[in-house]
């Protein structure tokens, strides 16, 4: 079991989905280069660790999710003399509407929890080809379940949660709600909206998959379910 801290900050202005990357860039510019957690870049290039500061659009509002070290680093934004941001040419005066900090126990349980994940960027070049090469819905679901389990393992590694050897993450995708093309870094990517169950408790609004710091792969807790 691993206990982690999550801080969720919701700001007052509503933003559009296509402004999340601009929101991330504007916050990182305001903080400056004294914290790589805000932008995950060094002079050597991009850091491929799980991002501890993630930028979201939650209930249409600009939001930041801070995980573990990110909870301690967010003061570098709060210490700025003003929080005015420019998002794609639009000026926003950022005001905190809601701030919640919680601790969660990460564990592999003997029961299942139910979730939805939105704008999940699951497929890379290799598994995209494999996904498209089969017409079997069962096989496609199995591919996505394997990828989602790997995404949860990547999250676990990112927060230093070491799973016990006798514990196995189980994933059951119960519904594929939608599939669409999204543009990320000026390239088209397939994203999915999916309902799933797993025996791992996942904190509300964290990201799984690719580009989670840009608002992709946001997890919503649906309801707890018993049995399998």
Domains and CATH numbers, the chain: 2-103 (3.30.70), 107-225 (3.30.70)
3-state secondary structure 60-99: CEEEEEEECHHHHHCHHHHCCCCCEEEECCEEEECCEEEE
Residue 205 has pLDDT above 50, yes or no: yes
Instruction: Please state which of the ranges 37-41, 95-99, 131-135 shows the lowest mean pLDDT.
Output: 37-41
- Name the residue with higher pLDDT: 175 or 82: 175
Is pLDDT of 46 > 60?
no
Render the burial of 39-69: b for 16+ CB within 10 Å, e for the rest.
Answer: bbeeeeeeeeebbbbbbbbbeebbbbbbbbe
Q: Distance between CA atoms of 212 and 95, rounded to whole angstroms?
A: 23
Flag the least confident range among 42-56, 76-90, 103-117, 182-196: 42-56
* DSSP H or E run through 144: helix 137-158
Average confidence (pLDDT) over 47-63: 90
Q: What's the pLDDT score for residue 225?
A: 45
**227 pLDDT higher than 70:** no
Give the distance, in angstroms, between the CA of residue 48 and the centroid of all CA atoms in the same chain: 14
Query: Torsions phi, psi of 115, nearest 5?
Result: -140, 165
Rounded (5°) CA angle 121-24-62: 90
* Tokens matching residue 186: 């000026």
- Region for 75 from its dihedrals, namely left if φ exceeds 0, alpha if ψ lies in -120 to 50, beta otherwise: alpha
How many whole angstroms separate alpha carbon 142 and alpha carbon 153?
A: 17
Over 80: is that where the pLDDT of 23 sits?
A: yes
Higher pLDDT, 49 or 21: 21
Contact between residue 100 and residue 156 where contact means Cβ atoms under 8 Å apart: no
pLDDT greater than 50 at residue 224: no
Q: How many C-beta atoms surround the C-beta of residue 114 within 10 A?
A: 16
pTM summary value: 0.91
Beta bridge partners of 58: 61
Q: What mean pLDDT, rounded, does the chain reach?
A: 90
Q: What does the pLDDT read at residue 43?
A: 55
To 10 degrees, the CA torsion angle through 113, 118, 119, 123? Answer: 20
Burial of 70 (0-12, 13-18, 19+ CB in 10 A): buried
Pull the structure tokens for residue 35. Answer: 């914290």
Give me the residue label for tokens 């993450």.
Answer: 169
The Cα 49–Cα 102 span in angstroms is 22
Residue 2, token pair as written in the block: 């691993």
């Amino acid at each position: 079991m691993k206990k982690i801290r999550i801080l969720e900050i919701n700001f007052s202005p509503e933003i559009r989905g296509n402004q999340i990357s601009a929101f991330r860039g504007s916050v990182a510019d305001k903080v400056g280069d004294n914290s790589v957690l805000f932008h995950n870049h060094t002079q050597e290039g991009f850091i491929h660790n799980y991002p501890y500061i993630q930028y979201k659009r939650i209930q249409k509002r600009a939001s930041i999710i801070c995980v573990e070290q990110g909870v301690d680093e967010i003061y570098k934004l709060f210490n700025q003399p003003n929080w005015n941001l420019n998002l794609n040419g639009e000026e926003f005066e950022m005001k905190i509407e809601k701030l919640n900090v919680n601790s969660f126990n990460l564990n592999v349980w003997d029961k299942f929890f139910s979730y939805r994940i939105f704008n999940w960027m699951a497929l890379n070049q290799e598994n995209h080809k494999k996904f498209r090469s089969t017409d079997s819905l069962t096989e496609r679901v199995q591919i996505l379940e394997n990828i989602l389990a790997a995404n949860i393992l990547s999250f676990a590694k990112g927060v230093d949660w070491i799973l016990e050897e006798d514990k196995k993450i189980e994933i059951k995708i119960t519904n594929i709600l939608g599939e669409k093309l999204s543009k990320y870094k000026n390239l088209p990517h397939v994203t999915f909206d999916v309902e799933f169950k797993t025996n791992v408790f996942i904190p509300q609004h964290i990201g799984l998959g690719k580009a989670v710091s840009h608002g992709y792969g946001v997890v919503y807790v649906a309801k707890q379910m018993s049995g399998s």
